[in-house]
Structure 1
Amino acid sequence: MSPPVSSAPLTHQPLRGLVLILGATLLFAYNDTTNKLLITDYNVPMVTAIRYITHCLLMLAIVAPLHGREMVRTQRTGLVVIRAGSLALGSFLMSLALQRMPVAEATAIIYLCPVLVVLLSGPLLKEKVGPAAWVAAFVGFTGVLLIARPGGGLDPLGVVFALGNVCLALSYNLLSRVLARTERTMAMLFYSALVGAIGFGIFLPWTLHGAAPTPVQLVLFAGLGVSAWLGHYLFTQSYRYAPAALVAPMTYMHLVWAGILGLLVFGHMPDPIAMVGMVCVACAGIISAVRPRRGERPAQLAAEDGTTERAG
């Protein structure tokens, strides 16, 4: 799912956009897999803090010299901070879910969020919601029920944490839609990193414990921040080069990458019923992404769909 699109001009380079979105979804799956590896040895608040601190330092070192004050200038700072807090808390809940669930199943559940964004954009944002959106919602909920069904072997508390992430991601994405009209992409990305870094960083004196990390774990810790920052950046760029109807369905490659990495790293293969559920969730998202909307130009669609972003 993608970060808000700024006012920079769009160009039509669909192949470039698809390459960028494939890279972004691979980075997100890598981030989830790395997160799950690290939280087997370290506590979730510490891992989350290091991720956000690394993300924030990268933006200060690389982005700040290029954007200067524009990176911190906002018009509705309160809503920007609430949006960032939703992302940070959502990331925390996602980590707790990954502690108890396989990567593929946890990832599939959080992809219920884009469908809910479409449904709630009607009553909350006064956007038109057609029959296709309700079909997508039904298919998506069916998929989640198949994945998280009783007797499916998933930790119930892990499922609760994943659904909590969906709720926070919903808040995050709806605020992204509202704020995309007035706020710059880089400013929102920076405040997302800053709020997470401060919110979890202040607890580091009490959470920074455990065995000294190995060289491999140090690389993994650094990779958390790098993959989060670079993944969101590639998502932003992909919507500049290709229309939303082309890019948005490709975000479901995240499910494919998550399944592959979960199999390679943890040896986990979802059972057949869960696989059917994952396909249902992906189909629901694709229906939402390509549903017909009359009277809107491609650029408008890109601006609208470009505000659906993962929280995790």
Structure 2
Amino acid sequence: MPYCERMDDHPLRRALPLILLSGLCFSTLDATAKYLVRDHTLLLVVWARYVGQMLIVTPISWHRAGPSFWRTNHLRMQLARSLCLVVATLSFFGALRYVPLAEGSAITFLAPMFAIALSGPILGEKPTRARWIAVVGGFVGILILVRPGSAVFHPATGFLVLAAIANAVYQLLTRRLPNDSQATTLFYSGLMGTLVLTVLLPVTGTTPTAFTVRDGIFLVMLGAFAGLGHWALTSAFLRAPASMIAPFTYMQMVWATLYGFLVFDQLPDALSALGMAVIVASGVLLLLHERRLTGTMSKDASR
């Protein structure tokens, strides 16, 4: 399907609302998780997130690809990728119990930088100088954030870095699935989290004995925002090139900062805001470089 059927129908016009909606959903998901992990076990919160995602994305995948939507040419790769997402979620939600939402979200945006560093051993790629500059810039930002006396100068920050690394591997493995449809990949994204955590909950004894109506509402919200966010994100990338819409994913930082202030009364100080800005700027510059590089390769291929 072409990105644009008419010359006056710019792809961003259709994709931008979806990518902004996905960022709002994921930030709302993170804020809800931070609220829930204060009173509930981490496994329960993460389980609710994945079950909700599967309940929403499975019918969507079926609708897009038909009854064989679950068939894949790379089962091990799909399961490994899905497991990476579980590790990222467990690490991120676990860290949110101790660190502010905005700063925690900023650190996870290091994932593209980690992906560059890991692209050599995983994909056999040789990063360009501009990519390495973006990596260095991202790590400068995290050093500003994780400084003595800051809100994220806490051992839990290590789990945020682990979440970013797991997300980076998740992204790289996604690039190794060229023969699977996006509907199939969307389905497998939440499969391991649903299966593994459904088994672990009764085994570890983390199933709640007392459950309030409010608890149920928030856990349902958790799954709903996860599923809706993944649907919106996938739909956006179906409607416009990744290089065009990826920079708008950083709008998620705005939502995270607002939720941190309005719900948890947490606002980044000046230096933390600077560190967050450095990380976001490094990511945006990296995306612009990738867009320029892709455009240059396309021109060369057409000659």
Structure 1 residues 65 and 249, CA, compared in 2 at 3 Å: closer, same or farther?
closer
- Mapping of residues 26-65 of structure 1, within 5 Å: 26-65=24-63
Q: Give 1:5's aligned residue.
A: none
| AA matched with 1:296 | M
Matched, 1:227 2:229: no
- Mapping of residues 204-223 of structure 1, within 5 Å: 204-205=201-202, 206-209=205-208, 211-214=210-213, 216-223=214-221
Q: Decide which structure has the larger Cα Rg and report it.
A: 2
Q: CA deviation at 1:133?
A: 1.1
Matched, 1:277 2:275: yes
Q: Give 1:303's aligned residue.
A: none
| AA matched with 1:190 | F
Please give the root-mean-square deviation of Cα atoms over the aligned residues, in Å.
2.0
Matched, 1:238 2:239: no
Q: CA deviation at 1:217?
A: 2.9
Q: Give 2:7's aligned residue.
A: none
Q: Give 2:130's aligned residue.
A: 132
Asked which structure has the greater RCO (Cα within 8 Å, sep 6+), the reply is 1
Instruction: Indicate if the aligned counterparts of 2:61 and 2:186 stay in contact, CA closer than 8 A.
Output: no
Structure 1 residues 158 and 45, CA, compared in 2 at 3 Å: closer, same or farther?
same
- Mapping of residues 75-90 of structure 1, within 5 Å: 75-90=73-88
Q: Give 2:94's aligned residue.
A: 96
Q: Give 1:192's aligned residue.
A: 189
Q: Structure 1: 5+ residue runs without aligned partners?
A: 1-7, 301-312
Instruction: Indicate if the aligned counterparts of 2:52 and 2:227 stay in contact, CA closer than 8 A.
Output: no
**60-69 or 141-150: which moved more?**
60-69
Instruction: Indicate if the aligned counterparts of 1:88 and 1:192 stay in contact, CA closer than 8 A.
Output: no
Instruction: Indicate if the aligned counterparts of 1:42 and 1:210 stay in contact, CA closer than 8 A.
Output: no
Using the alignment, how far apart are the partners of 2:106 and 2:166 within structure 1?
16
Q: CA deviation at 1:122?
A: 4.6
TM-score (norm 2): 0.89
Instruction: Indicate if the aligned counterparts of 2:64 and 2:183 stay in contact, CA closer than 8 A.
Output: no
Using the alignment, how far apart are the partners of 1:168 and 1:290 within structure 2?
23
TM-score (norm 1): 0.87
Task: Give the secondary structure class of the aligned counterpart of 2:40.
Answer: coil
Q: Structure 2: 5+ residue runs without aligned partners?
A: 5-9
Offset from partner CA, 1:145-194 (integer Å, 9 cap, x none): 11111221325221011011112112111101111x11111212212222
Structure 1 residues 9 and 201, CA, compared in 2 at 3 Å: closer, same or farther?
farther
Instruction: Indicate if the aligned counterparts of 1:87 and 1:192 stay in contact, CA closer than 8 A.
Output: yes
Once the two structures are aligned, what percentage of the paired residues are identical?
A: 32
Offset from partner CA, 1:208-251 (integer Å, 9 cap, x none): 1253123x332221121121121122112222333333311111
Using the alignment, how far apart are the partners of 2:74 and 2:121 within structure 1?
22
Using the alignment, how far apart are the partners of 2:61 and 2:128 within structure 1?
40
Instruction: Indicate if the aligned counterparts of 1:118 and 1:288 stay in contact, CA closer than 8 A.
Output: no
Task: Give the secondary structure class of the aligned counterpart of 1:55.
Answer: helix
Offset from partner CA, 1:63-117 (integer Å, 9 cap, x none): 4355333321100101110000110121111111111111101100000011222
